[in-house]
Chains A and B, each alone.
Chain A
Amino acid sequence: MKLLVRLYNESRPIIAQVVKDTGILINVDRARSDAHEGEEALVDVPDEHCLMISERMKSLGAEVRILEEGIRHDEEECIDCGACISICPKGVFYLDDEWKLQVETKKCILCGKCIISCPHNALVLSY
């Protein structure tokens, strides 16, 4: 499960703290530091510990949102061209045996690169 973590407490190592306390390994998919908007990290945690880790991070002062799904694929608009396939850094998209676009949202790190690359406006971020 993916968590979007916003950090406001300057330089406090909240993610490291949670890993140390719980012993659960967390994968940081993407992190961004912006002078105006603060720090934001997209982390991948095991599904079964998702709620617990989210609570821990909140108690340490982070704002946490559980992302139920990654990129949203509008099958009505999609024409199965595959323009998104080579843009995605994580291999989320592929064409199946019938040349239909398949989307593995679990792999998505919500970078948003595919959104502007879709000629048919068929990909949207759901958060």
Chain B
Amino acid sequence: MEKSIDEINRRIRDGTARVVTADEMPDIVAELGEEGALKEVDVVTTGTFGAMCSSGAFLNFGHAEPPIKMERIWLNDVEAYGGIAAVDTYIGATNKSVTRMENYGGAHVIEDFISGKAIELRAQSSGSDCYPRRSITTEVRLEDLNQAIMVNPRNAYQRYDAAVNTSDDILYTYMGTLLPHSGNVTFSGAGTLNPICNDPNLRLIGSGVPILLGGAQGMVIGEGTQHSSAGNFATLMTTGDMTEMNSDFLRAAFMYRYGPTLYLGIGIPLPVLDIETVRKTAVRDEDISVSIRDYGVPSRSRPVIRPVSYAELKSGKIELNGEEVKTSSLSSYRRAKLVANTLKKWIEDGHMNLCLPTRYIDTSKQAKPMRETRKVVLVQEIMQRRVVTIKEDQDITEAAKKLLKGETNHLPVLNEQGRLTGVVTTFDVAKAVARPERKVKVQDVMTRNVITTQADEPIDIAAQKLENHRISALPVVDAQNQCIAILHASDLGKLFKPGGPRT
């Protein structure tokens, strides 16, 4: 048996369509069987509510008098794109305010717009005969705009890898706060309710298909950026009218030390046309697997710790290396259900008709990494190979002499085997002199928990270590933990000298 889209739409118009949410579907199929479910259910609604960084909106402000072609634009001091004349702009969700606290960005401008607040528009122009005006400052509300069309390049990830941190330091990432030593696991996505998880082969989701976006009736444009269907990481480009959105389904957020992002509700209704649709929409959390990746490794290819299912992640704790580790969702399952239920209501009330894609999305695509034509600057290019060191059992007076003679503030400390065991600084020595209680050897005053770098580490990662730990030097060690050089914060200045590695 098969059903046509027209038949389903006729039932929606008649008010007789049977609509269920995707989380109800597994039990229905278990009870009625696949044929029974196909006969019974007409539409399955899906939903997700989480951080969708790659989002934003096209805005048109109408013309000023005298007119201006806005070239640089700020909305509440968040810069918007000025390359699409004359009074059009695109405001991106993750752009940070240039003046206000770091926790206000493009996403907050969008949320403030939809909650009816006035936004300060500031723009500059170089002026022309047709657009003589050079600058403008005004306050605008959503109702004052001609258009506010949300167009999101990458939304509704099919699924997303979970995050853990095996390093010694707490990390603040777009996957939230990651405690050191695998202290917690964070994840994103709604599992069984996730739109693409219920249509992994993209037979029903494609260009032109109606969706719920931020509370408005929107539409799928087509494949999203970084769409990687072949690896089960499909994405969608979406659009919707911002004037119909509301804060139940759209919230600005701020990830500590990452920046602003937009939390969005997205739901897609799936017409139950055939047995294949029934099978795919019967997907459970247990069936959807992702990898747990180690964000302690600052690389594009973060190591996989182990596979994990959404059922495990949603249970609140998982086992990792024999220990129980708590999990945190970054997206809201409660709101994902609200999205799916709202969509269900719209269809039951006859407010939304379904359609099949006008263009299908390529399911064989795999996202590529960036082509880089210039090599990354490594620590070895600016580190100081002449490094003054000291032994653990030497006196601090010896350390003081070496610090003075070497004109440095940091002495790497070596053990008998020549391995790095600590660092002693001028501050440590001064402290020991000020409070001379039995502290005479270097090993009594040195810092033992040393943050180090390697010669082949990219300079940006070393710079991040200096900043995060508020320190001013990193010993450079080899695989045997021998100190082969030292990188001082002041060495970073070499990067910007004429003829330096970055010029």
Contacts and interface: CB of A to CB of B under 8 A. Distances in A.
Interface of A: 79-87, 94-95, 98-100, 113, 116-117, 119-121
A116 B177 contact: yes
Which residue, of A87, A98, A113, A116, has the highest number of chain B Cβ atoms within 10 A? A87
A121 B332 contact: no
B184 A116 contact: no
B331 A81 contact: yes
B300 interface: no
Interface of B: 49-51, 103, 172, 176-177, 179, 183-186, 251, 253-256, 261, 263, 316, 325-335, 337
Contact of B49 (A79, A84, A117): A79
Given A81-B50, A119-B330, 7 more contacts: A80-B332, A81-B329, A85-B316, A99-B333, A99-B337, A100-B334, A117-B256
A87 B171 CA distance: 12
Contact of A119 (B179, B253, B325, B337): B253
B24 to A, nearest CB: 15
Chain A CB within 10 A, most for which of B176, B255, B330: B176
20 contacts: A79-B49, A80-B332, A81-B329, A81-B331, A82-B328, A83-B177, A83-B328, A85-B327, A86-B183, A86-B185, A86-B186, A87-B177, A87-B184, A95-B316, A95-B333, A98-B334, A99-B332, A117-B177, A119-B176, A119-B254
Contacts of B254: 119, 121
B397 to A, nearest CB: 26
Given A116-B177, A121-B103, A86 B334 contact: no
A83 B176 contact: yes
A7 B212 CA distance: 57
Contacts of A116: 172, 177, 256
A83 B179 CA distance: 12
A104 to B, nearest CB: 15
A95 B329 CA distance: 10
A90 to B, nearest CB: 12
A62 to B, nearest CB: 27
Contacts, number: 74
B203 to A, nearest CB: 29
A30 B95 CA distance: 38
A82 B256 contact: no
A81 B256 contact: no
Nearest to A98: B334
A119 B261 CA distance: 9
A99 B177 CA distance: 21
Contacts of A79: 49, 251, 263, 332, 334-335
Given A80-B334, A86-B184, A87-B184, A120 B328 contact: no
Given A116-B177, A119-B253, A119-B254, A81 B316 contact: no
Nearest to A77: B251
Contacts of B326: 85-86
Contact of A80 (B176, B184, B255, B335): B335
Contacts of A121: 103, 254
Contacts of A84: 328
Contacts of B176: 83, 117, 119
A87 B177 CA distance: 7
Which of A80, A81, A83 is the most central at the interface, judged by chain B CB atoms within 10 Å of its CB?
Answer: A81
A113 B176 CA distance: 12
Contacts of A80: 332-335
A97 B98 CA distance: 42
Contacts of B51: 119
A44 B172 CA distance: 31
Contacts of B103: 121
A54 B328 CA distance: 37
Nearest to B251: A79
Given A83-B186, A86-B328, A119-B176, A99 B253 contact: no
